[in-house]
Amino acid sequence: MNLVDEFNMATKQIVRNLKFDCDCYVSTFEVNIRVLGYPDFLFSGLIAGHLSAVEFKKINKKLAWYKDELLKLAIDLGNILHKAFNTETGIPYRLINPSNGSPFFFDETNCVACGGTFVLEFGALTILTGNTSYIKKAIEAMDFIWLSRQPNTDLVGSMIHIYSGQWINFRSSIGSESDSYFEYLLKGYAQFSSYQMLDRFSTHYEAIFKHLKYNHGFYDINLNKLNSSYSYTLDSLRAFFPGIQVMYGDVDEAVIYHNIFHHLVKKHVFLPETLSFDYKIVNADYKQRPEFIESTYYIYLATQDPYYYDIATETIDNVEIFLRTPCGYASVENLTTFKLGDRMETFLVSELFKYLYLMLEPSLPFDLSKYIFSTEAHIMPKSNGSFSKPGRKSLGNLFKSNDITYKSPEGPDADATAEYIKINYLINNLWKQYLRVSSEFLERKSAILRSSPLFNNYLLLKFTNLAKNQSSTFVGSIAQFGPYISPSNILVNVSVSISDPLDGCNEISGHPTKLNGVLVILRGRCSFIVKVKNAQNAGARAVVIVDDQAIAPYSVPSMVHMSGDGVMNESEIKIPSVFVHPLQGSVLASLINQNASIDIFDTYTCSLVYE
């Protein structure tokens, strides 16, 4: 809009008045997408505002005073949000106190979108500062969500426990609580040229079409009951999906899906908040959500069809006719009566008006091709752009990979194992190596080792009941003795059983088919290394040791790093071992104890995922 005077005034107001000293709990997710990318001054904000200020400074002397003040505020806020990520899974706490950076420890769950929507904003901070700790935190959270996907569908749930890694809500959807996770995988590829992110998005996209697609759109399903829909309503947030389809290149499907929402808009003037799957109103609110116009914008860019231009002009007319008030634009409490509410959402200006303006005004004060839009439509720098920190290689190089192949492991499941495993080495330790299994292998519903990009001293243990299509993922610490598992000796379809005796301090007994797998042993009475040696003598291939110390309610469990006892020679240990806290151990025990028969044990597999 080239409103440089107004932008200059708003920027000065932010620099003078914005403080992060509120002694209150705020949403980590919302603060990231709205404040780190967009405070309530005009349409620009901390990161996007900084980028805009730098651009305007080139063409207008009124911004000559600007010396990265918004970026400094963004760094301060990024450092506060950074503290929310100190969890075992890397997925952040849902709430944080900005005055001291303390998370709300009483809430240990978070949604997939809330935990997986940081890579653009944190990536921008890394691009602008050269500090890779920001992007690393965002990537760790996305990686854990990816590794927690259901192996036989490649779908994710909607709510996850940030310490145990267990799915709390098994609803799989493209709508609320999941939407921006998919969006940031694809936009993360665009921002960093990360083919790993593109590959992950492609995997999810194929799974969505295979398991969620129906004639008129996309169902929500329960990951535990794949043949039945999870809910019978759909939210307006999923109107973002046609825009993602356009960015992915699937324009034909985007046009079809977008047309459904346009018919609803023509019928109701605006898109209702919630609908049934036969498109009848369930919740008649209109909260000024921008997703439908966002998708309209991307389809218009791709097709240049005037049909979509007309949608934009119709929307502007309807906003003026139905929403305009003396002091702004109101939301609608009920689209059947058009009773207005006493609320104006920030994303009305930051997203809805912005996309409408971009469709109707082709000339802009600076080139948008250097940027990518965040989920709140804020401009974020690409890693190969002019905003990369001077003297440092473009972050795009961090995601370039070399292909190395390994032959499949031998064993009873070798026929179901991928012939080759792809490892991408990513420089500067931003992402560690990862192992990706071929689609043919996943279709066989088997289990495979993947190298985790998450932790230096931790493993992910994924226990899967293939018979019931259930899986649980745990985080554990690697013992300081014994071998690391390498790509040449990965464990596939290994049975899991509980040690007898439970503490593993004496000779371990049991059926040979049980012992030739992973043994779960309780901490206590003897050293860690003695337990692992007894399990090794019994024929176990790996050991999981569960902490015996009770966890106080709402406390944060600490992870123990197992070491030798100074007596036994550590070189005698030939099998790997990992330590998990009691909460994870109780879940694991309940899984195994669902049926004590050996046949059920044989269907449990332990995929040790490690770095």
Q: Which residues are annotated as a binding site?
A: 375
Select from 331, 590, 570 the least CA-distant residue to 470.
Answer: 590
- Distance (Å, rounded) from C-alpha 167 to C-alpha 471? 9
Single out the catalytic residue among 30, 76, 199, 253. 30
**Residues pairing with 96 in the sheet:** 26, 103
CA 524 to chain centre: 36
Single out the catalytic residue among 140, 235, 291, 294. 291
**Residues pairing with 578 in the sheet:** 478, 544
Single out the catalytic residue among 273, 285, 547, 602. 273
Residue whose pair of structure tokens reads 């071929």 in the numeric block: 438
Stated length of the chain: 611
- Distance (Å, rounded) from C-alpha 488 to C-alpha 417? 13
Residue 138: HSE in the Cβ half-sphere, 13 Å Cα cutoff: 28
Whether 108 sits among the annotated catalytic residues: the reply is no
* Cβ(110)–Cβ(92) below 8 Å: yes
Extract the annotated binding site for Ca(2+): 375
- Written as six digits, the tokens of 103 are 């998370």
- Distance (Å, rounded) from C-alpha 158 to C-alpha 168? 8
Whether 440 sits among the annotated catalytic residues: the reply is no
Select from 546, 552, 557, 553 the least CA-distant residue to 585.
Answer: 546
Q: What is the CA radius of gyration of the chain?
A: 26
- DSSP for 118-167 reads -HHHHHHHHHHH--THHHHHHHHHHHHHHHTS-TTT----SEEETTT--E
How far from 66 is each of 11, 52, 556, CA to CA, in Å? Answer: 9, 11, 43
How far from 50 is each of 46, 55, 388, CA to CA, in Å? Answer: 6, 9, 13
- DSSP for 415-462 reads GGS-SB-EEE--GGGSS---EE--HHHHHTT-----B-SS-SSEEEEE
Catalytic residue IDs = 30, 179, 273, 291
